[in-house]
Amino acid sequence: MKVAIFGATGRTGRLLLNDAVERGWEVSILVRDPAKLSANHEISVFVGDSRSLHSVNSVIQGVDAVFSCLAVADISGPATDLSDCIKTIVEAMGVQGIKRIIHVGSAGELDHPGGGYRNQEGLPDYLQYVSIEQVRCYEALRESGLDWTVMCPSWLQEDIPVGKYRYEIEDLPDGSEETGYADLARLMVEMVDRPESIRQRVGIVSFR
């Protein structure tokens, strides 16, 4: 398996990179600052911007699947940097004929029982802008024609032991309001070959 990872220096991306390498996958990543790479993996590192079609085309050349662990750079105000990246990745994948992409979103992108998205109720003010941007990404993927999966974790935490999690297609499981970064990364890797997750949102929660 040959994969490309965007956002490989972030909290989810670092763990995803580790899991992919442990599985023996051939990995290419795109980073702005290679100094942020903490592990000495045998991977292909490209330096550039995920909003640059040239950069994205270079890193996804010949891959079987794409992972996006990208995030909004500044959540304090309106932003389109994340959705701009996703649209660029979608465009490049279309040009190269690559179909599979797994993207990290949030539980706010899941449907609300009363209509609309879950982010329309009870979301703290400081998350309003980033949530709107995450929905833009989901909608861009939904309209892309690609074999996408959007991961929809709850409140992400670093201190949750790996391995005790539940997931549901198009819903958020009951019983927890937290998701471990390590569980999210592990499930993303496992979802690559699961056809039931194609063109679906996947809710995931972890248990302590």
The CATH number of residue 191's host domain is 3.40.50.720
pLDDT score for 40 = 64
| Distance of alpha carbon 183 from alpha carbon 205, whole angstroms | 8
5: how many CB neighbours lie within 10 A of its CB?
Answer: 30
- Model confidence over 114-138: pLDDT tens digits? 888 988 777 788 888 999 999 999 9
pLDDT of residue 113 exceeding 90, the answer is no
pTM: 0.95
94: how many CB neighbours lie within 10 A of its CB?
Answer: 13
Quick one: pLDDT band at residue 39, thresholds 50, 70, 90? low
Domain count, the chain: 1
pLDDT score for 125 = 80
pLDDT of residue 196 exceeding 80, the answer is yes
How much of the chain, in percent, has pLDDT values that exceed 70? 99
List the single range of 108-122, 130-144, 174-188 with lowest mean pLDDT: 108-122
Average of per-residue pLDDT across 169-196: 97
Query: Phi/psi at 13 (nearest 5 deg)?
Result: -60, -40
- Model confidence over 66-84: pLDDT tens digits? 999 999 999 899 999 999 9
pLDDT of residue 52 exceeding 80, the answer is yes
Identify whether the C-beta of residue 188 lies closer than 8 Å to the C-beta of residue 165.
Answer: no
DSSP 8-state class, residue 171:
B
| Distance of alpha carbon 26 from alpha carbon 51, whole angstroms | 23
Range of the domain at 174: 2-206
pLDDT score for 35 = 82
pLDDT of residue 58 exceeding 80, the answer is yes
Average pLDDT, the chain: 95
DSSP 8-state class, residue 112:
P
96: how many CB neighbours lie within 10 A of its CB?
Answer: 14
